Amino acid sequence: MSNDLFTPVYLRFPFISNLRSLVIYAALTKNAFPLPLQRKIFSNINYCFMKVTVVGAGAVGATTADNIARAALAEELVLLDIKEGIAEGKAQDMMQTAALLGFDTRISGSTNDYKKTAGSDVVVITSGLPRKPGMTREELIGVNAGIVKGVAENILQNSPDAIIIVVSNPMDTMTYLALQSTGLPKNRIIGMGGTLDSARFKYQLSQHLGASPGDLNAVVVGGHGDTTMIPLIRFATWNSVPVTKFLSEEQQKQIIADTMVGGATLTKLIGTSAWYAPGAASAALVKSILRDEKKLFTCSVSLNGEYGQNDICLGVPVIIGKSGWEKILDFGLNEDEQALFSKSADAVRNMNDVLKTL
């Protein structure tokens, strides 16, 4: 074994074979690394030790987990499903990509054994039925409410400090249910819907403008439903220039309409609900929490007078960081936008009322 100071530490000490021992070694002997590497390791040290659980190893859950692993967001990732073997199988399949893709995250699967999820920092709930062509998200409430409530309770028993991201539909109502049933502080329950809808809005805008989606800023607020979401085109910009400058009234209406039925269009084409963008959107929220990025996303969160609403979870622009959702941003809606927001809230509130009848 070479002990040359210029030989990288992991070659001098081959017992340092995994990420955890490497980071511990680095913590104990900072000087073992050249300065640029020290900076990299120590800036990453917090999220190296993070644990994430994804409940539901179906299309969206597995894609979320895959994105988390590829980006090496956590040290440990648990996939849990009620169907025997599916989570273990998908976890093993993903682990077999580690050597090819070069990540160190340890992924394991579990058939409904929540002990394996213990101590998770973030939990993403994707368990539940997806919609079929012609169905609305709202039609899933009967089955999914029971699933989400049971899952949230199990999660909390094993990971009392977790931040929970709810993906299952009807998402705004499932987020409200998770908040009510767990009694967690509101900042720790985040509904993922507007993040996806905003990405779909950017996609539609990019098609009409011939722009890179990454150059666009655009936000969808309100409920995560075909008729309740509100793409805020007045605020959308192309590298800080309002997109309305480049689009006719007719184009703008088309973009809004296509964004609103973005999910339904894919469900019709694929035969079931989409998963690539939902998985990427869920993982983006996980990343912003674990790395405390303070990124701005539209998420469904508990409103206490913001945007004129109370006792409801609805999509608004929020800062996502290590405490969950940390701040709601008031975009200053005009009269028409506020009227749409209130109408959207009424529809989601009606759906929440259905919970009382189940």
Ligand X SMILES: NC(=O)c1ccc[n+]([C@@H]2O[C@H](COP(=O)([O-])OP(=O)(O)OC[C@H]3O[C@@H](n4cnc5c(N)ncnc54)[C@H](O)[C@@H]3O)[C@@H](O)[C@H]2O)c1
Residues that bind ligand X (CB under 6 A): 55-61, 80-83, 86, 126-131, 140, 144, 147, 150-151, 167-169, 171, 192-193, 196, 224, 273, 275, 278
Of the two residues 97 and 136, which places its CB atom closer to ligand X in the complex? 136
Q: Is 208 among the residues known to form the active site? A: no
How far is it, in rounded angstroms, from Cα 228 to Cα 242? 24
Return the residue nearest ligand X (CB atom).
58
Q: Are 197 and 262 in contact (CB under 8 A)?
A: yes
Token pair listed for 345: 């809230």
Q: Are 196 and 284 in contact (CB under 8 A)?
A: no
Of the two residues 238 and 297, which places its CB atom closer to ligand X in the complex? 297
Of the two residues 128 and 324, which places its CB atom closer to ligand X in the complex? 128
DSSP state of 315: E
Q: Least Å distance between CB 48 and ligand X?
A: 28
Q: Least Å distance between CB 55 and ligand X?
A: 5
DSSP state of 115: G
Catalytic residue among 116, 131, 137, 224: 224
Q: Least Å distance between CB 166 and ligand X?
A: 8
Distance (Å) of CA 317 to CA 40, 43, 186, 195, 307: 31, 27, 15, 9, 11
How far is it, in rounded angstroms, from Cα 207 to Cα 225? 22
C-alpha closest to that of 320 among 285, 352, 347:
285
Residues in CB range of 27: below 8 A, 6 or more apart: 45
Of the two residues 84 and 336, which places its CB atom closer to ligand X in the complex? 84
Which amino acid, one-letter code, is at 65?
A
Q: Least Å distance between CB 325 and ligand X?
A: 15
Question: Known catalytic residues?
Answer: 224
